[in-house]
Amino acid sequence: MEVILTLTEIVEETNLRKKVWKIINITQANQLFVHSKNLEIKYFDEGTQKVNTKSLPEILSICVLNALVPNSAMILVGGHGGGKTSLTKLLGRMFTGSSLSDIESSIIRGHN
């Protein structure tokens, strides 16, 4: 089944893709969340007509992609001071434009 997108949908998809890359790059450049495991993503490049591979920070990429899914939730697990809350607040701010205090008040915390 072939999917045909309207010009508006293509523009929206392109803008969203740019926003995701920008958020990942800003977070990495400012070393706001540091970890060592990478996620290899294969994608088809329309310009070159080839399949390329891009290496991205695994946890950050999964969090960003998860934030795009409507009505989704994230569970972040890790040691004290690992950057889980900071990452969540920054991603919330970048995606929604809401204040950090609004983002902070929407975070649900659980301790065991």
Rg (CA), the chain: 16
pLDDT at 8 over 70: yes
Task: State residue 51's pLDDT score.
Answer: 92
Q: What is the pLDDT of residues 89-100, one digit of tens each?
A: 888 888 788 888
**Please, is 84 exposed, middle or buried when counting C-beta atoms within 10 Å of its C-beta (0-12, 13-18, 19+)?**
buried
What residue ranges do the domains of the chain occupy?
8-106
Residues in the chain: 112
Q: What is the pLDDT of residues 45-82, one digit of tens each?
A: 888 899 999 888 877 777 777 767 666 666 666 677 77
